[in-house]
């Protein structure tokens, strides 16, 4: 417990076991662990940029593209008001949240290696699905697989 207010005496006797220097390995492990959260931020920036690209909108959201072209001199606030576009953006984050519950079970039973393998395969499948997407359903399924991969990857880093 922080501060040692409610710590038992047995834990205080072991305190000397944890007094070590900060090594390069420790710093590297902290950097790798923090990269899991960086994936969410990076994806947020990428998906926000992609959803405003004209080529993407023409291919997958032609209605939004027409609305964007008809209202060129207005604010972008209502141009992107579409439930499917919102589902496309948020599906990764929701899948990442839900998959962490399954990832904790996989990590407990099979260890970090099993969790990393499941996350890697899921992330690979998501990337392939998004690269080969011909319709919005494939895009959303790809984003769900990417979210599962990120969820498992974050669980393995903890």
pTM of this prediction exceeds 0.85: no
Tell me if 137 sits within 8 A of 146, measured CB to CB.
Answer: no
* Residue 6 banded pLDDT, cuts 50, 70, 90: low
pLDDT of 69 reads 84
Is residue 18 predicted with pLDDT exceeding 70?
Answer: no
Q: Bigger pLDDT: 36 or 119?
A: 119
Tell me if 88 sits within 8 A of 139, measured CB to CB.
Answer: yes
Is residue 23 predicted with pLDDT exceeding 80?
Answer: yes
* Residue 7 banded pLDDT, cuts 50, 70, 90: low
Nearest to 85 by CA among 119, 113, 60, 114: 60
| CA–CA gap between residue 108 and residue 86 (Å, rounded) | 34
Dump pLDDT digits (tens) for 64-86: 888 888 877 767 666 777 889 88
Residue-averaged pLDDT of the chain = 83
Q: Bigger pLDDT: 18 or 68?
A: 68
Dump pLDDT digits (tens) for 31-69: 877 776 777 778 778 888 888 888 999 999 898 888 888
Is residue 94 predicted with pLDDT exceeding 80?
Answer: yes
Nearest to 149 by CA among 99, 78, 81, 85: 99
* Residue 139 banded pLDDT, cuts 50, 70, 90: very high
| CA–CA gap between residue 154 and residue 33 (Å, rounded) | 8
Calculate mean pLDDT across residues 3-31. Answer: 71
């Amino acid at each position: 417990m922080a501060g040692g207010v409610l710590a038992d005496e047995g834990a205080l006797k072991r305190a000397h076991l944890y007094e070590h220097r900060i090594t390069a390995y420790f710093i590297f492990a902290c950097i790798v662990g923090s990269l899991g959260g960086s994936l969410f931020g990076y994806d947020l920036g990428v998906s926000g940029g992609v959803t405003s690209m004209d080529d993407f909108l023409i291919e997958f959201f032609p209605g939004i593209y027409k609305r964007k072209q008809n209202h060129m001199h207005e604010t972008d606030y209502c141009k992107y008001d579409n439930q499917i576009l919102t589902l496309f953006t948020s599906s990764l984050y929701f899948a990442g949240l839900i998959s962490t519950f399954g990832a904790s079970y996989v990590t407990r039973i099979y260890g970090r290696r099993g969790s990393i393998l499941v996350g890697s395969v899921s992330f690979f499948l998501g990337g392939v699905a998004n690269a080969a997407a011909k319709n919005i359903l494939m895009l959303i399924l790809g984003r769900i697989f990417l979210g599962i991969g990120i969820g498992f990857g974050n669980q393995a880093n903890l």
